[in-house]
Amino acid sequence: MTNLSSLRPLTAAVAVALLAAFAVPVPTAHAQSGYGEVGSDSMRARRAKRLKELGKGEETKQQAEAAALYPEATRESPEAKAKGKGLKALQALQESFEKQDSAAVIAQADAIGADPDASAYEKAFAWQLAGNASADLGDEAKAADYFKRAIDANGLDNNSHYQVMYNLAVVQFGLDRHAEALATLDRFLAETKSDKPEYQAFRAGILANSGQGDAAAQIYADQLAKNPDDMKLRMNAVAAYQAADQFDKANALLAEAQQKGLLTESNQYRALYIGYINDDKDKEALAVIDDGVAKGVIQSSPELAKDLMVLAQKAYYAGSDADAVALYRRAAPMAADGEAYLNLARILQDQGKATEASAAAQSALDKGVKDPADARSILGQ
């Protein structure tokens, strides 16, 4: 094997960060559990119906309890009712909201909020719509302010009150106010006693984006224990473990998924074999690649070529020229350039296989390399 000092470094690919990047999902900005997106047509229709019911006083206590989204909530839902000029003001506000006249909604809501005679319910209802309108206008900071006012007014029924609180946490997260988002969400969870998986997933997402990978990973692991076939949860747990530098745990989750036949996407396979490469388990990494290719999940691509080149370079430095040659031969045809062919040519030349080395060098020139002179020298030009 030629001394490395006589060879230009094989590829720069090995220096590239190999961690698979999986974004930890969080709720869509302004999503309201059970109600859809803030400002959506369905939500507008529900609010219009709700406002009419409140004005007529038609909703019974039994109906309210039956429709409770947070039946375990510790907060006692206040009587949510508007009347007189307050009801008319809210109806006018609702009309503006339904017309999606956001500027008018905000102006009307500010007027209601400044009215000393307005009830807590009237102010809270107005401010939540102002928050929705601000979000529609793309002013997240203002939306957060209005949502907080609606919560502080403490006049909405439990369903609306806690949906606004959850919305506030989502908006705060979108503004990168992670500490505030976590505090809001923790209050929401403490008061509603809700244990829905999506709320825990959101909390884990906040923690992960706050640099608290260990805590996020534990939440995902707990949820995964209850839903072992949920690949979204599994991949989030993997990402959280990777962020916390617990690569062995991330690899174990992915390996288990492979054994159970749960890996159905190329990025899932790549997360596992990159994890093995990072852990210097190159044979295991290649076995995962082969499994994914055999199942048709992993397709030939420049990205796969780069990953195979990393394995080839590691094999070369480990003294296994035969493995390096096999891997470069495999990577070269699908690579975006001719660097794999050039590295193959160097090793073949070192082995005294002049004809094969020349063929590889010519292929390198045909595909394009950074240093054509190196390939030409192998060709004797």
- pLDDT of 15 strictly over 50: no
The two tokens of residue 193 are 């006693």
Q: How much is the average pLDDT of 177-182? A: 97
Cα torsion 35, 38, 43, 48 to 10°: value is 130
Find the mean pLDDT for residues 63-73.
74
pTM of the model as a whole: 0.69
Task: Check pLDDT > 80 for residue 213.
Answer: yes
**C-alpha to C-alpha distances, 96 to 129, 177, 245, nearest whole angstrom:** 10, 30, 51
> What class, spelled out in words, does domain 34-195 have in CATH?
mainly alpha
Chain centroid, CA 96 distance in Å: 35
Tens-place pLDDT, residues 217-262: 999 999 999 999 999 889 989 988 888 888 999 999 999 999 999 9
Structure tokens at 219: 């939440």
What size, in residues, is the chain? 381
Q: Which residues of 208-233 are buried (b: 16+ CB within 10 A; e: fewer)?
A: bbbebbebbbbbbbebbeeeeebbeb
* Residue 11 confidence class, pLDDT cut points 50, 70, 90: very low
For the chain, give the mean pLDDT: 84
pLDDT of residue 357: 97
DSSP state letters, 273-288: HHHHHHTT-HHHHHHH
| Contact criterion met (CB below 8 Å) for 211 and 193 | no
Instruction: Please give the single-letter amino acid code of residue 1.
Output: M
What residue segments make up the domains of the chain, in order of their start?
34-195
